[in-house]
Structure formats: structure tokens, C-alpha cells
Amino acid sequence: MTDGDFKKTRVDEALRRKKMRRIFFVLLIILLAVILTAGVFWYGKRRQKNLPGQFLAEQGREHVGLEHVFSYNSNPPTSGPHFSKEAEWGVYKEELADRTVIHNLEHGGIWISYKPDISEEIRKKLESFYDEWGRKIIVTPRSQNDSDIALAAWNRLDKFSASEYSDERVDKFIRAFRNKGPEFVP
């Protein structure tokens, strides 16, 4: 082996080691990306399971008029075609049109609705959440409810009977979804 061959072998060996380090580095980056992606996916799924209520598929955010007829995927609705003007935040003694309140949900609001024949004690407790949280809360009677109480946010719904009522349940729902609509309006 000549001196030139020896140097060429050393250079080739150094280039091979450099190429192997590069391959190792790329594989390490890919492995870390896969682990990070899996971790984020797992955390998101786990977090979803710990959130109150039921997730419902979005049905759009189109602004419509009175002539528009649409069948929603939940009772009360949590998304879908709605009026272009939202309701004022607050406590209402009369029912509001679903298509009005959906706009409030789009802005990150929480809709607390109850059957009109619910006890005055529970009605007052539900109304007190507006006093506590203020903006982004609407409390209304709703005769079309298929449960005594319904908590609605954008794509999220928790329905229960008066006997299942607890302040903690309502508070947990509000904490989880208030200001989480697709349009943030302060």
C-alpha cells in the first residue's frame, strides 16, 4: 500500500463516518418527530375524554335568514346555520331562537337552557352563573329541550336531569369551553 493509497483510504473512511453520522442524525430527528407526534395525539385524546359533555360534529357557521330551514344534529344545537346578529349576554325569562344563540356560541359563549317547568330553586342557581361569570353566558328557558338542563358551547353539549344538577358540573363546563368558539370576540 502506497502513501497515496493510505491517505485515500483514510479520507474514504472519514467520509463514510461523516455520512453515517448524518444518517444517524436524520433517523434520530425522524424518531423524535414520531414520538412527539404520538405524544401530542395521545394527550389530545386523553384530554378529550376528560372534558365535560359530548362532542358534536360542526354543522357550519353560515349566516342565514328566517327562510332558511335546517335540521340540527343536537338538541339544543351547538353549531350550524344561524342569524347574523347574536343575543345580548344575560339571563332571559323568555325563550330565544336557537339560530340567535348559536351565534353567541360561535363567539365562545355558553348557553345554559332549562325546561320552563324546572324548580325555581334550580332556575335561580342556573341564573347565578351569569352573575358569577358575566359576559359570554346566556341563560334561557327552552321548551324544546329533551332534558331538564342543557349546557351548550360550540360543538359541545352536556344534558342532564334536575336530580343530577350540581354547581360543580355547570362550573366545570363553563371553565372548559367559555371563550373557545371558532370566533373570539372579547
Asked whether residue 19 is assigned to any structural domain, the reply reads yes
Counting DSSP H helices and E strands in the chain, the numbers are: 4, 6
Percent of the chain with pLDDT over 70: 90
pLDDT of 42 > 80? The answer is: no
| pLDDT (tens digit per residue) in 77-99 | 999 999 999 999 999 999 999 99
Identify whether 106 is part of a domain: yes
Mean pLDDT of the chain: 90
Does 182 map to a domain? no
Same-domain check for residues 97 and 44: no
SS3 of residue 10 by DSSP: helix
Domain enclosing residue 170, as ranges: 56-177
Counting Cα atoms < 13 Å in the Cβ hemisphere of 39 gives 6
Residues 46 and 1 in one domain: yes
Band (pLDDT 50/70/90 cuts) for residue 41 is: low
What is the Cα–Cα distance from 34 to 130, expressed in whole angstroms? 44
**Model pTM score:** 0.75
All cell numbers assigned to 11: 479520507
